[in-house]
Amino acid sequence: MAAPHPWVRRGYAAALYLLAPLIWRRVWREQLPGRPRRERLGLIPPAGEGERTLWLHCASVGEVQAARPLIEALGQRWPGHRLVVTTMTATGAERVLVLARNRQASGAGAEVSHHFVPLDFPGAARRFVARLQPDLAIFFETELWPNLLAACDRAGVPVAVVNGRLSPRAWRGYRRLRPLMEEALSHVAWLAAKSDADARRYLELGMAPERTTVVGSLKFDIDTSNETRQVSERLRTRLGNRPVWVAGSTHPGEDEQVLAAHVRLRERLPDALLVLVPRHPHRFDDVAALCRQAGLTLARRSRDEWPGDDTAVYLGDTMGELLALYGAADLAFVGGSLVPIGGHNLLEPAALGTPVLTGPALVNFEDVAEAMREAGALVEVVDAESLANQLLRLFDNRQARHRLAEAGRSVVTANRGALARTLAVLEALVQAE
């Protein structure tokens, strides 16, 4: 199809080249040991003769985790393909590698491998697509890279944007670049929006209505495997009957509030344990120092330290274990919500039957939050004091915790189905190719 405003992508590319030193400096830090930085320029090993590939791009660790049901389903649906997952960040790459090792150990479905996504320079985008030769390109949520999308279209690779979401803030930013976004979206064969509001925002940026479908959020199809539940049960057994709560995916400015709430909680319940899981690995040591500054005794999971009866905080400073840690707790606070981040996945603890608390900053999960509010499955707090008050209330009321847990599980169950609807269209795109 003819792309509208083809000139805007040339201007966009010129701006990227002007900013190349700054872009490269930032990317230089986002790397894994032993992985060549030339991947960022599209210089990956070429596909083997007769090799068939599906490509899924996720921005970082949160998107990889949210896409896990899709990754598993793609591997099972197309076992003869290899599944390449790209990320922008090193933490996302580490999560993909964990998934790949787990799949290899189970011996089920397609091979999963990882590359870093190329920088969106025209040459890098073209090289990457030419060497990967995917049958289908799937972009997860809000990842819209104009030159990559155009390179796929030029190579005859159908592009799908799945679990498509645009927060009001992201939409306002993209709207300032509407001609560029309209040109980029003209290369998308299908957009699977997660809500009517998200679809409407995409349409206002120029996405074609006939190629847009509201399928619901893939996050509701969260995978809570027996393995995860078994790990949770073993953890809970070792932790004993003491009050345990998790603060997951926390950010700077939020850890301090969580720790202050825990200090208050322990004034009433001195054996209460906080399992604290910062969002980003590079902050693990800093958060450990914050715990000590707050006068709280600490055990670190990465060092195989186990919390004793007098331990106040168990630092979850490992990757890929948050879901199991949620399942081992009596209550779960989901971070990124007491600071202006936009929240993280409220459904992870809910799917495991752990009552959910959150702060007010939920712009990235507003549709999920609204469904949970309507079902009475969400407790919202605004600061350390209200968090402490709600923790005390819920630890004192087993029936209230049970009602929250059942309501959360019901929300997840009632909204499943987006994965099946998404796979049906992706299968048609692969067959059409």
Q: Are 311 and 299 in contact (CB under 8 A)?
A: yes
Nearest to 317 by CA among 302, 336, 298: 302
DSSP, collapsed to helix, strand or coil, labels residue 325 as: helix
**To which H or E segment does residue 394 belong?**
helix 384-395
Nearest to 3 by CA among 162, 183, 155: 183
| CA–CA gap between residue 105 and residue 100 (Å, rounded) | 9
Alpha helices in 19-77 (DSSP H): 20-29, 61-66, 68-77
154: which 2 tokens? 């030029």
Q: Are 124 and 44 in contact (CB under 8 A)?
A: no
Q: In b/e form, how buried is each residue of 403-426, taking b as 16+ CB within 10 angstroms?
A: ebbebbbebbeebbebbeebbebb
227: which 2 tokens? 């393995």
Nearest to 330 by CA among 398, 376, 388: 398
Is 374 one of the catalytic residues? Answer: no
Exposed/middle/buried for 98, CB within 10 Å: 0-12, 13-18, 19+?
middle
7: which 2 tokens? 């000139």
| CA–CA gap between residue 360 and residue 387 (Å, rounded) | 11
Compute the half-sphere exposure of residue 424: CA atoms within 13 Å on the CB side of its CA.
8
Alpha helices in 107-160 (DSSP H): 122-132, 146-154
Q: Which of 30, 39, 49, 63 is catalytic?
A: 63
Active centre residues (catalytic): 63
